[in-house]
Amino acid sequence: WALLFWVNMLLLVLGFFLPPVAIILMITPVILPPILAAGFDPIWFGIVLTINMELGLITPPVGLNLFVINGIAPDIKFGEIFEGIVPFILIIAAYIVLLAVFPDIVMFLPDMFYDY
């Protein structure tokens, strides 16, 4: 679990500065073997990775989606946009914890359709 915690922290910090595609291409080959060796399901980890990338897109200082929102509504100050996304940051972080504690939420459909 410590490995999963630190991997999620690494992904979050990288999400502050890099786009998701770059993180996935650079980091997944490095972190996937230890995740698999620890016994985590690769499908489950892919979902957690994707949700973590979503969190990185709305988290400052670079949060690319924040700049998209600011471009769409330039009359709204960046500070107000940040105040508006704080609840979403908390919800996504809680969702990552929920998926870590209850991996069957993610694995319900793959288990139902595939004999995985």
- What is the predicted pLDDT for the residue at 7? 93
Share of the chain above pLDDT 70, in %: 99
Mean pLDDT within 26-50 = 92
Mean pLDDT within 16-28 = 89
DSSP string, 67-98: HHHHHH-TTS-HHHHHHHHHHHHHHHHHHHHH
**63, 22 Cβ separation under 8 angstroms:** no
DSSP letter, residue 116? -
